[in-house]
Amino acid sequence: MGYKIAQVIIQGHSHKKSDPIIPCQDFGKAGTLNNGFHVIIVSDGAGSSKYSHIASEFCVNTLYTNVEIKDFSEFVEKPIDIDAIQLKWKNFCLNLFSEVRSALLEKAKLETIQTGDLNCTLILIIKTQWGFLCANIGDGRSGFSDGQPRELIVPFMTYTAGATYFLIKDGWEQIFRSYVVIPESPEAVEYFFASSDGCQDFIIDWSLSGPKTGIYDDILGNEAFYDSNKPFNPFFHGLIKSLNEVQTENEVNERLKNLIEKGLYVCNGETKELKSINSPLLDDDKTLIVFFK
């Protein structure tokens, strides 16, 4: 059985109530390439940047277009030498992100926009037949389950409000991270996702303590902190059960939207309000894109 897709981009409540209204600063896009690879791209614009909503949409669309035209033939077969494929992927996607950044800088120059007004993060998730090719600059979350919840990327300083890093800033290459993830049973992957950090309070399992992965220790030293970063399987299992009750893409996305925006969970003909999702404290923009079976 192939994957279905659910996706939603929601403007934060405080943005709606502002005068003037603040645009949603998140953006995301997903689809399937001609070679069968599934792609998710998510960007979160900085709240302090005037045109971050423009930056996030521009970066997502530019990266998606570039991914569509790239030759992924060297990533089709399951790698035998993991170190070699990790290096190859790092160079490949570092070039992808660099192309997007150059295009964003050119946009700033042509439209006379200060670069600090175009701050945004960027996450790329690609699922092959054998595993995942991923990269990120900044925060956000991504993971999957093959029976056990597992991470795909490690966010940068998600635990400190407003302290992430952005693609357009100098020194971005030092913060950029790439990942090659090979599940033991790729056919057992029941879902995978990417999201902006606005969703992390209910999609991550906060009951687990986080191992010190060390992935940002070269940047943060002893200041580095790592939470569990594991998907909260009960949330995703309940979500998938609900989404599989409807047939069309519009119905799927509407159910996801009602859950993430209003905390309304629909399943087996009943509607429940989940206040843990609809909390006024969770007022950020929210983007969540899920491939599921």
Tens of pLDDT, residue by residue over 145-184, are 999 999 999 999 866 655 789 999 999 999 999 999 999 9
Comparing 222 with 8, which gets the higher pLDDT? 8
Mean pLDDT of 282-290: 89
Q: Enter the tokens of residue 274.
A: 């989940």
- Residue 240 CB contacts under 8 Å (≥ 6 apart), including other chains: 190, 191, 290, 292, 293
Q: Is the pLDDT of residue 1 over 90?
A: no
Q: What is the pLDDT of residues 26-60, one digit of tens each?
A: 999 999 999 999 999 999 999 889 999 999 999 99
Pairing status of strand 26-32 against strand 38-44? antiparallel
By percentage, how much of the chain surpasses pLDDT 70? Answer: 94
User: pLDDT-derived band of residue 281, with 50, 70 and 90 as boundaries?
Assistant: low
Please give the domain boundaries of the chain with CATH numbers for all domains. 4-292 (3.60.40.10)
Q: What angle do CA 186, 39, 134 make, to 5 degrees?
A: 70
Q: What is the pLDDT of residue 280?
A: 59
Closest CA to 186 of 159, 219, 212, 147: 147
- Residue 138 CB contacts under 8 Å (≥ 6 apart), including other chains: 44, 120, 121, 122, 155, 156, 164, 165, 166, 167, 175
- The DSSP secondary-structure symbol of 96 reads H
Range in 28-37, 146-155, 250-259, 280-289 the model is least confident about: 280-289
Q: Is the pLDDT of residue 243 over 60?
A: yes
Distance CA 229, CA 216 (A): 14
pTM across the whole model: 0.95
